[in-house]
Structure 1
């Protein structure tokens, strides 16, 4: 049976989180995403450490800390959960409620822009908006998921009372229509990135079907995708365009400002 998400406070619970994250990322020694001691300190100082237990075993957890400007932002540093059971969504809605109780207006986090399921979850299921492309944000990462790739990240911003977010927490995913004259700025052709046009008002930017598998099976293709998405998507954001959605679970919808 899955219990509701709750804050965690004990060393035993933080050790459960550490083991869960280790099972998910399989980091090299010394490369864990967060330590038991730091979780203890963050929790004691009033930051966010929460988890979901399933039949007595931790199935998901999230750790965040208060950011700037003070009292208005929570940065969600790391979240990991068993896939396909709604645990990630439950954690995010718990995190949102926790933040609102404290007068916090928005939550931010980073994610790999090449991971389709994460992009869809963040944009469609949560109503968050990616607002900044961050090349090689964490430097070299040697865990089982990220090894061999550069750690580019997207900064997602979750404005907690935005109408899209209110709809999302009612389980109404946001999947906007794409205009007929949208340009394809980056396409997936037989598993490889192919550059296109980026001069239209709406530009579609594809990401690979499964970048995590591609890193293992074809590192050259994975690297090509990383650099192409950095060039096209990162370049559009740098020019002032904004990401407004994720189309058919395959590509970002980017709108140029007028």
Structure 2
């Protein structure tokens, strides 16, 4: 990441570049952009977080966030997007998160929160294993109906994750030491991936494993019925467990590790 430059953004021209980047990533319908140029301008001017990642003077990632409750302690990262494809694995997203963390710590903040689709396996691994964040709430249909190229045809269930910036597992993540969750031998399978379909199992043990599909984004197009089955199964099992007070302690081997309180 030595050639990656991260900095806060302040000009309309920079916000227009971010808008175009997000448009290439999500392909939203008219009026459905995740954040507008005007909103980025207002957030930045009010002292919130709008930042870009540049490689060879080309914008390859951006993030927009704002101060949130608890007042004086937290920031909510509303939208983060980074170039994928040929640049995948180049560390753009990880670098943006580290920049967010430094920005937050410099302002005396203790945590950063954000939401993500619990069915997207790579994001779950990134957030839980690579960053050391932890899901704390399951939010069914959180954004209502989304019609962009990534989410169209599915419901917008989200996990709210909390990244406590100075916890030991986060400090290890900053040192690029991914967090590996240990699975006890008596863990049970709450959802299994059998032939690309969710199969419900047991949830009556101290540790429950909840699988997610290998590629939900492709399933939405190729097999909408299977994608719908995964959405409902994970909402029922993972959402149900979290609603009862269970904690998601990690992500391993394509699924969530959930421990009952």
Tell me, yes or no, if structure 1 residue 32 matches structure 2 residue 37.
no
Match of 2:119, SS state, is coil
1:149-186 deviations in Å (ceiling 9; x for gaps): 00000000000000000000100000111011100000
1:97-116 deviations in Å (ceiling 9; x for gaps): 00000000000000000000
Q: How does 1:68-107 map to 2 (within 5 A)?
A: 68-83=69-84, 84-107=89-112
Gaps of 5+ in 2: none
Match of 2:180, SS state, is coil
Tell me, yes or no, if structure 1 residue 67 matches structure 2 residue 56.
no
Tell me, yes or no, if structure 1 residue 256 matches structure 2 residue 257.
no
1:120 is matched with 125
Normalised by the length of structure 2, the TM-score is 0.97
Find 1:199's aligned residue among 186, 200, 204: 204
1:49 is matched with 50
Given that 1:202 and 1:256 are in contact with CA atoms closer than 8 Å, whether structure 2 keeps it comes out as yes
CA distance in 2, matches of 1:228, 1:207: 9
How much does 1:81 deviate? Answer: 0.3
Tell me, yes or no, if structure 1 residue 148 matches structure 2 residue 153.
yes
Normalised by the length of structure 1, the TM-score is 0.98
Paired residues, number: 256
Match of 1:52, SS state, is strand
Given that 1:2 and 1:52 are in contact with CA atoms closer than 8 Å, whether structure 2 keeps it comes out as no
Match of 1:4, SS state, is strand
1:48-104 deviations in Å (ceiling 9; x for gaps): 000111122110000000001211110000000023210000000000000000000
1:233-255 deviations in Å (ceiling 9; x for gaps): 0000001100000012x000000
How much does 1:32 deviate? Answer: 0.3
How much does 1:2 deviate? Answer: 3.5
Given that 1:39 and 1:63 are in contact with CA atoms closer than 8 Å, whether structure 2 keeps it comes out as yes
Once superposed, what is the RMSD of the aligned Cα atoms?
0.8
Tell me, yes or no, if structure 1 residue 184 matches structure 2 residue 185.
no
CA distance in 1, matches of 2:35, 2:83: 18
CA distance in 1, matches of 2:201, 2:4: 47
Given that 1:115 and 1:207 are in contact with CA atoms closer than 8 Å, whether structure 2 keeps it comes out as yes
